[in-house]
Amino acid sequence: MHDFLAQINYDVWVLPALLLIPLAGTLLLLLTGAFSGDDGSLEAAPGARWIALVAFVLEFVVSMGLWWSYDPAGARWQATFDHWWIVPWNARLSMGIDGISLMMVLLTTVIMPLTVLGSWTSIRTKVRSYYALMLVLTTGMLGVFVARDMLFFYVMWEIMLVPMYFIIGIWGGERRIYASIKFFIYTTAGSLLMLVGILYLWNVSASPALGLGQTFDYDRLLGIAHTHKAALWLFGAFFLAFAVKVPMFPFHTWLPDAHTEAPTAGSVILAAIMLKMGTYGFLRFAIPLFPSAAMTPWVRSTILTLAVIGIIYGALVAMVQPDFKKLVAYSSVSHLGFVMLGIFALTVQSVQGAMIVMISHGISTGALFLLIGMLYERRHTRLIEAYGGIASVVPLFATLLVIVSFSSIGLPSTNGFVGEFLVLIGSFRTHPYFVLFATTGVIFAAAYLLWAIQRILFHALDKPENEHITDLNARELTMMAVLVAGIFWIGLYPQPILRRMETSSARFVQLVESGQASMRTAERGTR
Amino acid sequence: MLQDLAAVDTHALAATAARYVGLLPLIPLAGFLVNGALSLIPAYTMGPGDPSAAGHDHDGAAAARAHAVDHAEQSGATGDDHHAVARHPYAAVASVVGPLVLVLSFALAVAIWLAMASAGEMRTPYVQRFFDWMVTGDLKIAWAFQVDQLSMIMVLVITGVGMLIHIFSIGYMGDDPGYPRFFAYLNLFVAFMLVLVLGASYPVVFVGWEGVGLCSYLLIGFWFSDKANAYAGKKAFIVNRIGDVGFLLGMFLLFANVGTLDFTGVAASASSLGYDSALVTTICLFFFLGCVGKSAQLPLYVWLPDAMAGPTPVSALIHAATMVTAGVYLIARSGFLFAMSPTACITVAVVGTLTALFAATIGLKQWDIKKVLAYSTISQLGYMFMGVGAGAYAAGMFHLVTHAFFKALLFLGSGSVIFAMHRAYHHTGSHEDAQDMRNMGGLRKYMPITFVLMWIATLSIAGVPPFSGFFSKDGILGAVFARAQHGALADATWLGMPGSAVLYVLYVLGLVTAFLTAIYMTRLMLYTFHGPNRTGEAEQAHLAEAPWSMTGPLVVLGVLSAAGGWLDLPAALPLGPVGVLEKWLDPVVGAATAAVAGSAGEAVTSTEYFLIGAAVVIAILGIVVAVARLKPALLVPKRDALPSHGFEHVLEEKYYVDEIYDDAIVRPLVSGSRNVLWTGIDRGIIDSLLVNGSAVLARGFGWIGSQLQSGETGAYAWAIAIGALAVLGAFTFR
Amino acid sequence: MISEALFFSAVLFTIGVVGVLTRRNAIIIFMCVELMLNAVNLSFIALSRLHGSANGQVFVLFVMTIAAAEAAVGLAIIISIFRHHKSVDLRNINLLKG
C-alpha cells in the first residue's frame, strides 16, 4: 500500500483533490440541471443522487489512502499542500493533516456517502440542488479540518454554514425557517468575533527580526507570545465561536431546533461532523494559540464546570423529550460535554478519549438519526408516544436500534465506552472532582435512551397504524452495517486509531503545558 | 509486554488446554450469533407464550390477540401442545445450538480444570494476552484472560449450571415464539459472564460486568409486550449502572494511584496505597458500590425482585446462580485491596448482613413463589458478602457455589411448578395467577420428583446437615465469629465502634437470618406442596410433572445440592477430605485471608462444635416453628384472600421501598428535568429570554428605525434639508 | 458682478429647495430640482469666470448632461406612476416604507 501511494505521489495531491472532487460533483449537478429544464424532483432527476453517491464514494476511496500514508512517527504536518491565494495579505491555500485532522477527515468521508443513502428516497424535491449543497458542504468541512492558514480556515468555516442553512431551510420540517435562521445567526454571531481575533493575530504577526510581514500561517501564529490580557480576550473570541458550535451549555439551544427540523441527512451531518468543528477548533486553535489564557485556573475551571453541567443537564433534559430527534439532540450536548472535559483536563488519555468520543459520537448519533429517519419515512412522526411495541413488527430495526442505543449509552465493547472511559480515566488525574460528577452522566445516559427505546420498541403493539410498518430494506441495512461495524471495531480494537492520534494528542498536551510554563516564567520575569 | 509473554510461555499451563481459554466465551458467542440470526426470522405470532407470564395482566393488543388465538385452538389442542400457535419455525435448530455451545464450553472448562489439577499447585495465575485494547500514554489495557483457581471455580459453575439450565429451557421455553431469541440472549449472557470471571484486568472484567447487565436487561424484558416486564428490565440496568459508577470510579482512583489496572500489577503494588489509608478504603468502597448494584444489596437491591419478570430459567441462571454473585467474585478477586482496609471489610460485612436480614423478613410474607426465591437470593447474597467482608474469601466462594446449586434447583423447581400450573390453567382457559402460592398447595401428589428435589434444596438453604448449604453457611458464620475474636478486623474500629463488637452483632444477626430463612423456605414448601390443593377442581386433572428434559437437570442439581458440602468440609467434621476448596483457592486468596484473619490459628475445636450446634439447632427450630405455626389447610386461593394488616402488610408491600425510591428520587428527577431544566431553564431562560429575547431586541431596534422610513418623499426631503443645514451649521459655528 | 450672480443663484436655489420641500406634485418637485441644479450651474459659471478657469464650465456641461438624462428617466417614472395611480401627488405614493 505504501509503495503504491508513493508511486502515485499520493501525498502531493490528495488534499486539494479531496476539496475539489465535491466541487466537481456540484458543477456536474448544476450543469445537468441547467440543460434539463425539469423541476428537479426525484422523478424527473433520479440520476442526481447517483452523481452525488459516486462523488462521495470517490471521495471516500481517495481519502482512505491517508489512513496508510499518515505516519504517526513522521512529520508534524503530512500530505501538505501550499499555494498562493491572496498575495497582498499573505494568505495562502495552506493545508496539511496531523493525527487529529486525519481522523476528522476520514470520519467526514465515511459519513457523507451514508447520508446520501439516507436521503435516497426521503428527498423528493429539488434533488439536484440538495445534493449540490451537500457536496459544497463537504468541501467546507474538509477545508476546516485541513486548513493551516487562518484566513483559509475562516472562509471554510463560514462556507459550511450556507449549504446547511439551505438544507435545513428548504428540506426541513415544519418549523424549518425558524430553525435555519436560528442556526445561522447563532453560529455567525459566534464566529464573527473569531474573525476579529484572526485579524488581530494577523496584525501582530509581522516579524521584523526575520524580515517577514503579516501572515495567517498557523504555525507562525502559534509562536507569538501574547500578553495575558490580550490572550484572554483573544481566547474569549475564539471560545465563543467554538463553544456555540460544540455546543456547550448554555450555548446549545440552536441544536435541538436545528436537529429536529433538519432532514435526516442534515441531522446526521450536523451531529456527526459539524459539532466536531467546535471541539476540533479548541484542540487546534483556541487552546494551542492561547495556552496561557485557556489554562488560567478560573477559565479552565469555568469551562470544565460547563462541560460537566452539559453532561448531566443534557442527559436530564434528553430524558423528558417527547420527540426522539430532540432527545438525541440533547444527548449530543451530553456527549460533547465529555469531549470538552477530556480536552480541558489535558492529559494524553483524556485528549485521546475526547477524540474517540468525537469519532464514536459521529458514528452512534449518526446511526441514531438515520434510524429515526427510517422510522419517520414510514410513519411520519418522530414522537415517541406514537410508537410502542414495534419490535415485533420490525425486528431488524429493533435490533439495530438496541445496538446503536447501547453504543451511545457506552456499553463496554462498543465505541461509546472506549471514549468515555479514556476521557474519564485521563481527566481523573487532573480533575478528580469533576470526574466524580461527570461519571454519574453514564447513569442518566442509560435512563434516557432505555426509556425512549422501551416506549418505541417494547410494550404492547396497541396502535393499529404501527402494525404494518415495513422492516429495513437492503439499502438501509447497508448503511447501518457500516456504522455497526464501526461501533464494534472501535469498541473492541481502537488501537489503530489511538496509535495514529497518539503523537498529535501528546504534542497538543505538551504544547499547551510548555506554553503555560513559558508564560509563567515570563510573568515571573516581569515581576 | 515481552516479559508477560515470556512468563506465559514458561507457565505450567502454557502447553495445556488452558491456552484455548479464549475460546471459552467465543463458543457461546458463536451460539449467540446463530440463534440471533434465527430470531430475526419472525415467528407466526408474537406475544408472550411463557407459562409464568400468564399470571400477569396483559393489557396489550398483541397479548390479547395471542390469548384469543390460544383459546380458539384450545378445543383442538392435544396433550401438552399448549402453545401450538406460537412455535418458532427454527425452534429445532435453536434447541440444538443453544445448549450445545454450553456443553462445548463446559467440556473445555473441565479440560482446563483437569490440566490445572494435574499441573500441581500453581501459585501464579496463567495470563493469556490476546491483543491491545486501550493503550495510550502510560495507560495499558489489553484483552487478556487470567486462568487461576478462582476464575476456574466460577467458569465451572457458570458453564456447568448454565448447561443444565439451557437444557431445562428446551422444554420450558419450547413453545415460545421468541425461542431462538431466548437462547441467543442466554448464550450471550454466558459469553459475557465468562469474560467477567476470566478478565485479567478491571476494565476487562467491567466488559463482562456491564455485558451481563445488558443480557439481564434483555432477558428480564424478554416478553416486552408487557409493560411491567420492559420497565423491570430498564430498572435493572439503570440501578446496576448506579453501581457501575462506583466500579468506574474505583478503577480511576486505582489507575491514578497505582498506574495499572491488571490484577497482577495492582496486587504487586497495592501495598503502596498504605494500610488502612483513606485512599485504599475509598477505592474498596467504590468497588463495593459496584458489587452492591450487581449483587442486589442494600440499598440497590430493588431491581432483583422485579427481575423475576423474566422467564424462570433466566431467574435461575442470571438472577440466582451466576450474575448476581459477580459482586462476591469481584471482592474475592480484589482480596489484596480489601485486606488492606479493615474499614471497608467491615462495611462489606455489615451491608451484607443487614441485607440478608432485611430481605429475609420480606421473604416471610411474599405470595409469589418467585418473589420468595428472589428475596431469598438477596438474603443469601448478603451471607456471601458477610463472608468475604470478614475476609473468609474461600467460605464466601463456597457459599456462592452451593448457592448456585440449590438456588438454581429451587428456581428450576418453581419453574416446573409454574409450568404445570400454567398448563393446568391453560387447559381450562382460566386466568388465575400461576405463580401465587395461594393457588397451589398439595402439589406433592402431582409432582413427586419436583417435590423431593425442592425439599432437598430447602433443607440445604435452611442449613440442615448434611446438605450443602449447611457447610457453606456454617463456614461463613464460623469465620465471622472467629474474626470477632481476634485478627485485624477485631482490632479495627468501625464508625467509632470496636470491630470485635460489630462482628459479634453480625454473627447474631446471621443466626437470626438463618432462622428466618428456615421459616420462609418451609413456608414456601408447605404452601406449595403440602395441604389441600387450591388450584381448582377442573385444573387438578391437568397438574402433572414436567417432561424429563426439564426434570433431568433438576435431578443433577439435586445431587449437587445434597452433596456439595463435601467440596469444603470443616476440620471439625472430617467426613472426608477436609477443606478441599479452601486449599484450592489458597494461592489466590490465601494471602488476603491471612492478612485479615491475623496470625492466630484455628478456632478452638470446642467453640467450633458449639457454633455448628447452634446453627443446626436454629435451622431445625425454624423449620419446626414454621410447620407448627403455618396451616396450609387454612389458606384460601388468591381471589378469595383478604388483605393483610399491620406489619404483615408492610412486609407484604416490601417496606414500601420501591414507592419511597419512586417518590423521593425518580419522580422528582423526572419532573424536575421536565419542569425546571427543560421548560424552565432551557426553553424559558436560555431560549426564550436570552436567545429569542435578543432577537426580539434586535427586531425592536429595527422597528424603531423602520418608523423613520415613512415612504413620504416630502419627509425625506425635509430630513435632507435639515441635515444639510445642520452639517453646514456645525462647520460654520464650531 | 460676481456677488449679484451668486445672490441670484442662491435665490434660485432657495426657491427650488422650498418648492421641493413644500409642494406635493411630482412634476413641480421635479421642476424645482431642475431649478436647484441650474442654480448650481449659475454659481459654477460665475465662479469659473472669477477664477478664469474652464473647470467650472466643464462641470456645468456634465450637470446639464446628467440633468437631461435624469429628466428623461424621471419623467418616464412619473408618467408610469400617473398611469398607475391616476395622480402624481406624492402623498399618495409611500410604498417604500418600513
- Asked if the structure places residue A24 within a domain, the reply is no
Decide: B675 and B477 in contact? Cβ < 8 Å. Answer: no
CA gap B311, B621 in Å, rounded: 34
Q: Is the pLDDT of residue A214 over 50?
A: yes
Interface check A178 vs B, CB under 8 A: no
CA gap B335, B202 in Å, rounded: 13
CA gap B521, B541 in Å, rounded: 27
* Contact: A498, B227; criterion CB under 8 Å: no
pLDDT tens-place string over residues B97-126: 989 999 999 999 999 999 988 887 788 889
In chain C, what residues touch B707 (CB-CB under 8 Å)?
98
Give the burial class of C70: count Cβ atoms within 10 A of its Cβ; 0-12 exposed, 13-18 middle, 19 or more buried: middle
Q: Is the pLDDT of residue B74 over 60?
A: no
pLDDT tens-place string over residues A459-499: 888 888 888 888 889 999 999 999 999 999 999 999 999 99
CA dihedral sign of residues B258, B263, B264, B270 = positive
Of residues A169 and B640, more confidently modeled: A169
C93 phi/psi in degrees, rounded to 5:
-110, 95
Q: Is the pLDDT of residue C2 over 80?
A: yes
Tell me, yes or no, whether chains A and B touch by having 3 or more C-beta pairs under 8 A: yes
Cell numbers 483573544 correspond to A234
Q: Which of B35, B56, B90, B134 to mutate to test the interface with A (most CBs of A within 10 A)?
A: B134
Please give the grid coordinates belonging to residue B732. 460654520
DSSP conformation letters of B111-143: HHHHHHHHT----S-EEEEEEEEEEETTEEEEE
Average pLDDT over residues B708-733: 87
Report pLDDT for B175. 82
Those residues with Cβ within 8 angstroms of residue B456's Cβ, 6 or more apart along the chain or in another chain: B406, B409, B467, B558, B561, B562
Q: Which chains contact C through at least 3 pairs of Cβ atoms less than 8 Å apart?
A: B
Neighbours of B498 (CB within 10 A): 14
CA gap A304, A286 in Å, rounded: 15
Cell numbers 429515526 correspond to A372
- Asked if the structure places residue A441 within a domain, the reply is yes
Q: Which chains contact B through at least 3 pairs of Cβ atoms less than 8 Å apart?
A: A, C
- Asked if the structure places residue A301 within a domain, the reply is yes
B vs C: CB pairs below 8 A: 33
Chain A, residues 307-336, CB within 8 A of chain B, namely 313, 316-317, 319-321
Report pLDDT for B77. 33
Report pLDDT for A520. 60
- Ramachandran region of residue C89, left (φ > 0), alpha (ψ -120 to 50) or beta? beta
Residue in B706, B709, B721 closest to C21 by CB: B721
Measured in whole angstroms, the distance separating CA A173 from the mean position of its chain's CA atoms is 22
In chain B, what residues touch C21 (CB-CB under 8 Å)?
714, 717-718, 721
pLDDT tens-place string over residues A150-204: 999 999 999 999 999 999 999 998 899 999 999 999 889 888 999 999 999 998 8
- Asked if the structure places residue A210 within a domain, the reply is no
Which residue type sits at B657?
V
Tell me, yes or no, whether chains A and C touch by having 3 or more C-beta pairs under 8 A: no
Decide: A216 and A203 in contact? Cβ < 8 Å. Answer: no
Assess whether the previous peptide bond of B299 is cis (omega < 30° from 0): yes
Q: Is the pLDDT of residue B500 over 70?
A: yes
The fraction of chain A above a pLDDT of 90, given in percent, is 73
- Asked if the structure places residue A486 within a domain, the reply is yes
Interface check B175 vs A, CB under 8 A: no
Out of A488-497, B387-396, B713-722, least confident range: B713-722
Please give the grid coordinates belonging to residue B241. 449502572
Out of A184-188, B643-647, C22-26, least confident range: B643-647
Report pLDDT for B100. 94
* Contact: A411, B210; criterion CB under 8 Å: yes
Average pLDDT over residues B364-381: 92
Report pLDDT for B76. 34
Cell numbers 471455580 correspond to B153
Beta bridge partners of A92: A84
Name the minimum distance, in Å, from the CA of C97 to any CA of chain B: 4
End-to-end CA, chain B = 86
Nearest to B255 by CA among B114, B140, B171, B378: B140
The fraction of chain B above a pLDDT of 90, given in percent, is 49
Distances from the Cα of A320 to the Cαs of A463, A487, B68, B687, in angstroms? 22, 26, 36, 17
Chain C, residues 30-89, CB within 8 A of chain B, namely none
Neighbours of B548 (CB within 10 A): 12
**For B247, which residue in chain A has the nearest alpha carbon?**
A439
Interface check C15 vs B, CB under 8 A: no
Decide: A265 and A115 in contact? Cβ < 8 Å. Answer: yes
pLDDT tens-place string over residues B254-284: 999 999 999 999 998 888 888 889 999 999 9
CA gap A431, A438 in Å, rounded: 11
In chain C, what residues touch B710 (CB-CB under 8 Å)?
94, 97
Nearest to B371 by CA among B493, B487, B232, B515: B232
**For A390, which residue in chain B has the nearest alpha carbon?**
B225
* Contact: B207, A399; criterion CB under 8 Å: no
- Asked if the structure places residue A350 within a domain, the reply is yes
Distances from the Cα of A280 to the Cαs of A302, A351, A500, B682, in angstroms? 19, 11, 16, 26
A vs B: CB pairs below 8 A: 168
Distances from the Cα of A156 to the Cαs of A138, A221, A272, B33, in angstroms? 10, 19, 18, 45
Residue in A424, A458, A494 closest to B221 by CB: A458
B289 phi/psi in degrees, rounded to 5:
-60, -40
**For C25, which residue in chain B has the nearest alpha carbon?**
B714
3-state secondary structure of B147: strand
Nearest to B328 by CA among B352, B353, B303, B304: B352
| Dihedral in degrees, nearest 10, Cα atoms B677, B683, B684, B687 | 130
CA gap B429, A413 in Å, rounded: 46
Mean pLDDT of chain B: 86
Interface check B238 vs A, CB under 8 A: yes
Interface check C20 vs B, CB under 8 A: yes
Report pLDDT for B602. 54
CA gap B490, B30 in Å, rounded: 50
Residue in B708, B711, B714 closest to C96 by CB: B711
Residue in B230, B242, B245 closest to A454 by CB: B230
Beta bridge partners of B77: none
CA gap B206, B538 in Å, rounded: 51
B139-147 and B493-494 strand pairing: unpaired
In chain A, what residues touch B139 (CB-CB under 8 Å)?
349, 422, 425-426
Helix (H) or strand (E) holding B34: helix B23-39
Which domains does chain C show, CATH number per domain? 2-85 (1.10.287.3510)
Q: Binning pLDDT at 50, 70 and 90, where does residue A504 land? A: very high
Provide the H-helix boundaries in B317-447: 326-333, 335-338, 342-363, 369-389, 393-428
Q: Is the pLDDT of residue B226 over 90?
A: no
Interface check B427 vs A, CB under 8 A: no
Decide: A261 and A168 in contact? Cβ < 8 Å. Answer: yes
* Contact: B718, C98; criterion CB under 8 Å: no
pLDDT tens-place string over residues C37-51: 999 999 999 999 999
Cell numbers 416478553 correspond to B223
A79 phi/psi in degrees, rounded to 5:
50, 40
0.90 surpassed by complex ipTM: yes
Report pLDDT for A211. 73
* Contact: C90, B711; criterion CB under 8 Å: no
Q: Binning pLDDT at 50, 70 and 90, where does residue B601 land? A: low
Report pLDDT for A409. 93
**For C95, which residue in chain B has the nearest alpha carbon?**
B711
Buried b (16+ CB within 10 A) or exposed e, A394-430: bbebbbbbbbbbbbbbbbbbbbbbbbbbbbbbbbbbb
Please give the grid coordinates belonging to residue C46. 460665475
Average pLDDT over residues A398-404: 94
CA gap C85, C83 in Å, rounded: 6
Cell numbers 460544540 correspond to A246
**If you count them, how many residues does chain B have?**
734
Name the minimum distance, in Å, from the CA of C65 to any CA of chain B: 24
- Asked if the structure places residue A261 within a domain, the reply is no
In chain B, what residues touch C20 (CB-CB under 8 Å)?
717
* Contact: B674, A320; criterion CB under 8 Å: yes
DSSP conformation letters of A158-219: HHHHHHHHHHHHHHS-TTHHHHHHHHHHHHHHHHHHHHHHHHHHHHH--BGGGTB----BHH
Q: What is the pTM of this model?
A: 0.89
Report pLDDT for B399. 93
Helix (H) or strand (E) holding B494: strand B493-494
Please give the grid coordinates belonging to residue A426. 485521563
In chain C, what residues touch B708 (CB-CB under 8 Å)?
98
* Contact: A460, B230; criterion CB under 8 Å: no
Q: Binning pLDDT at 50, 70 and 90, where does residue B459 land? A: very high
A144 phi/psi in degrees, rounded to 5:
-60, -40
**For B254, which residue in chain A has the nearest alpha carbon?**
A425
Nearest to B327 by CA among B370, B284, B361, B363: B284
Name the minimum distance, in Å, from the CA of B729 to any CA of chain C: 17
Nearest to C68 by CA among C47, C41, C48, C46: C41
Report pLDDT for B49. 43
CA gap A108, A113 in Å, rounded: 9
Q: Is the pLDDT of residue B66 over 50?
A: no
The fraction of chain A above a pLDDT of 70, given in percent, is 98
Q: Binning pLDDT at 50, 70 and 90, where does residue B9 land? A: low
Report pLDDT for A435. 94
Interface check B677 vs A, CB under 8 A: yes
Q: Which domain holds residue A472?
A: 295-527
**For B702, which residue in chain C has the nearest alpha carbon?**
C98
Interface check A250 vs B, CB under 8 A: yes
In chain A, what residues touch B226 (CB-CB under 8 Å)?
459-460
Report pLDDT for B71. 38
CA gap B252, B514 in Å, rounded: 38
Provide the H-helix boundaries in B174-274: 179-198, 202-220, 227-258, 263-269
The number of distinct structural domains making up chain A is 1
Name the minimum distance, in Å, from the CA of A86 to any CA of chain B: 35
Average pLDDT over residues B398-414: 93
Which residue type sits at B356?
A
Residue in C21, C94, C95 closest to B717 by CB: C21
- Asked if the structure places residue A181 within a domain, the reply is no
Q: Is the pLDDT of residue B54 over 80?
A: no
pLDDT tens-place string over residues A17-75: 999 999 999 999 999 888 887 777 888 888 899 999 999 999 999 999 999 999 999 88
Please give the grid coordinates belonging to residue A353. 478519549
Report pLDDT for B81. 36
Q: Is the pLDDT of residue B73 over 50?
A: no
Q: Is the pLDDT of residue B58 over 60?
A: no
Mean pLDDT of chain A: 91
Report pLDDT for B656. 87
Which of A510-519, B5-14, B319-328 is predicted most confidently?
Answer: B319-328
- Ramachandran region of residue B497, left (φ > 0), alpha (ψ -120 to 50) or beta? beta
